[in-house]
Amino acid sequence: MYCKVFPDDDKIIAKRLFSQQTTFKDKFEVAWKFSASYINKSRNNQGSKSVVDSIRWRTTGNTEYTATSKNEDYISKSIEAYTKSIVFAPVGSEELSLAYANRSAVLFRARLYEDCLLDIERALKSGYPDELKTKLFLRQSLCFKALKKSSDIESSALASATKWLPNLKKNISNHEMFEKYTKMMNELGKPRNITTFSPEIKNNFSKDITGASDAIDLKKTSNNGQHIVAKRMIKSGEFIYISEPFAATVINELHFTNCWHCSRQTWAGIPCDNCLSIIYCSDICQQKAWDSYHNLECLVLGQLLKSDEMNTQTLLAVKILLKALNSVGGLIELKKKIDNIDSMINDGMIFTTDTLDVNTIDNFHRLDYIKPTSTECKFESALLAVWIVTIFGQKTNVIGSKMAVAELIDYKSKRKFILGELILRYMMIVQLNTGFFTEIDFGGSVGQSSVLIPFCKLIKKSCDPNVYWNHFGSNVGFYASKPIKQGKPILLSTAGSYHMIPKINRWIQLEPTTNDHVPCRCTACFESWPTIQSLKSYHDSTELPTTMKTEFDDMMSDLNEWQKLIEEGDDDKLLEIKDELISMNDEFYRYITVPCKEISLLYLSLNKLYGRLCSVNKALE
């Protein structure tokens, strides 16, 4: 808990006063005046790197890796434990080099030779002990051999192994070392194929929309609205937009397996020099994060993660706020920018020269958000914003200078209220616009990470969508889930499609997002289309020649056989059936224009196939 228990009577009065306010500024001020004095006044340490903790996690990794009776996921668990040892190791410590070296051994066993080489290099740069270097250079030489690198590079690594041989604690002769090397070389496995599906824009990119295909166009309406339409016929499975999301945040369970910046799974993650809870997949992502938001986030993240109230959406809102602050130079400048954008008559996305890049700070502020007058803008959210402001006040200079909570309460400047107003607003933007992608961690549990994609604002909403999106590596990709005719709008569901979600459930989810008493007026809702469980076969709804029905029935027989392949998720096998499934989908939609069980099954199968192909976390075992 981040604060003391509130007196019930005071809370009732505060909530009543909160509900009467109509702006984020006023709502935050009510929450601040009520709760600031109850916030924990101790400047809690968010933790620091520790040799003891690094050794503890390295020991855990050793236990997992060398156990006589191994679990089937021992490689993944060993890598994660060693990664935690790396994260907790102080910069420049011997423990850091030992953790990298130990992880390189597991990566070698997993036949992830490129990653193994990265960790060997990191171990050496971190001061790996001389008496252990021979083993490390032998491993390096074997990696070069497996990857068929230049024989000169392999020989150089082997020479280095020989050079450090006298330093080994256990005396081994040159002859013994080369015998061991020869044995390991003969047992050397081929590099593991971890190639993941990478979506592509097949034809040309749009000249008007960054990241989009030339198959789509931006249409402007008379009321200053904007939405995407098909510029030509788009086939099922064709990607119409590929880009990094504006921002993403992974669930807690994946903080040591997935990149904090791009969400990509990594077996050879690197730590922040200060944080104890995140990793990056590369130096590039680490630098991008630092330049964009982590220079400030690093000061507060450890403290924020201590609260159970901080879900991925709230962390995402904080990340985006820091990104915005860095982009404009400070709090007052950001407030002025937002006020300027709010004052614009046209509320469409803002073009940069002649091109629309939706992933800009300006266009983030063009996204719809839960209004302060909505019942979905809750008192509890404002209380959380108060706590976040106190953390920022104690640990950063965002509001002027660092200060204790008691000083912050007496602080006369309006900066703390501006910060609180913006945090609350960003929380409401994220709450309304966040997409989720499902993750499966190494223990098999399922969770959801948050991602914000401003491109969605340009797509009309429908419970009978014709596009779907997934997370592919560090990008999100939007593809046609059924054929789209030229001139037709691109449609995306925000409460699930009619294929699986009943109308009443969709409307319950959509109700907080609109003031309309009819939350959705799409055809599927207007005609109350049933879900796949209640839909009839096309045999009962469409008149087709017997030969065509026979052909369609054969297709469905193949599709039923593919369900197991799709469920198992083997990339190579999925890629073998992908194009055939796409053609099957197009063929059905060519002749069947009404909802039926087969159409729904095709829609769900195609989306599940792409979902398997883009699975963020691949198992090694």
Residue 619, CB half-sphere, CA atoms under 13 Å: how many? 14
What is the DSSP secondary-structure string of 519-581?
Answer: S--SHHHHTTPPPTTTPPPHHHH----HHHHHHHHHHHHHHHHHHHHHHHT-HHHHHHHHHHH
179-203 residue pLDDT tens: 777 888 888 889 987 767 889 998 8
Adjacent-strand bridge partners of 217: 229
Burial (CB < 10 A; 0-12, 13-18, 19+), residue 200, is: exposed
Residue 553 tokens, joined: 């029935």
DSSP conformational letter for 374: S
Distance CA 417, CA 425 (A): 12
What are the backbone angles phi and psi of residue 182, rounded to the nearest 5°?
Answer: -65, -40
Pairing of strands 460-461, 491-492: parallel
Where do we find the tokens 């982590």?
294
Say what the pLDDT of residue 571 is. Answer: 83
Per DSSP, 349 falls in state P
Q: Residue 41's pLDDT is what?
A: 60
From 276, 361, 277, 367, select the one nearest 327 (Cα to Cα): 361
**SS3 of 191-253:** CCCCCCCCCCCCCCECCCECCEECCEEEEECCCCCEEEEECCCECCCCEEEEECCCEEECCHH
Element (H, E) at 439: strand 434-440
Domain limits of the chain? 1-38+371-432, 51-187, 216-245+453-527, 251-367, 538-616
Cβ proximity of 355 and 399 under 8 Å:
no
**DSSP conformation letters of 401-430:** S---HHHHHH--STHHHHHHHHHHHHHHHH
Q: What is the pLDDT of residue 442?
A: 44
Residue 87 and residue 109: Cα distance in Å, rounded?
A: 22
Alpha helices (H) in 67-130, listed in sequence order: 74-88, 94-109, 113-125
Q: For residue 561, count other CB atoms closer than 10 A to its CB.
A: 10
**Cβ contacts of residue 219 below 8 Å, gap of 6+?**
226, 227, 228, 229, 489
- What element of type H or E holds 392? helix 379-395
Residue 533: CB atoms within 10 Å: 10
Residue in the structure block whose two tokens are 């399922």: 446
Check residue 617 and give its pLDDT. 54
Q: Give me the residue label for tokens 């990008």.
A: 475
SS (H, E, C) 447-487: EEEEEECHHHHHCEECCCCCEEEEEECCEEEEEECCCECCC
Distance CA 588, CA 592 (A): 6
Topology of domain 216-245+453-527, per CATH? Beta-clip-like (2.170.270)
Structure tokens at 316: 């995402």
Interatomic CA distance for residues 345 and 363, integer angstroms: 15
Burial code (b: 16+ CB inside 10 Å, e: under 16) for 179-197 equals eebeeeeeeeeeeeeeeeb
Torsion (CA) 273, 279, 285, 286 in degrees, nearest 10: -10
d(Cα 575, Cα 241) in Å, to the nearest integer?
20
| Residue whose structure tokens are 């003031």 | 515
| Residues of the chain with confidence (pLDDT) below 50 | 1, 441-445
Question: For position 182, what pLDDT does the model report?
Answer: 80
Could you give phi then psi for residue 216, rounded to 5 degrees?
-120, 160
Asked if 349 contacts 457 with a C-beta cutoff of 8 angstroms, the reply is yes
Residues 31 and 385: their CA atoms lie apart, in Å, by 9
Q: What is the pLDDT of residue 472?
A: 86
> For 282-306, what is each residue's pLDDT tens digit?
999 999 999 999 999 999 999 999 9
Token pair belonging to 118: 């990265």
CB 357 within 8 A of CB 363: yes
Which position has the token pair 């009467």?
Answer: 20
Residue 152 pLDDT: 66
CB 475 within 8 A of CB 282: no
Which homologous superfamily is 51-187 in?
A: Tetratricopeptide repeat domain (1.25.40.10)
Please report which helix (H) or strand (E) contains residue 279, including its range. Answer: strand 279-280
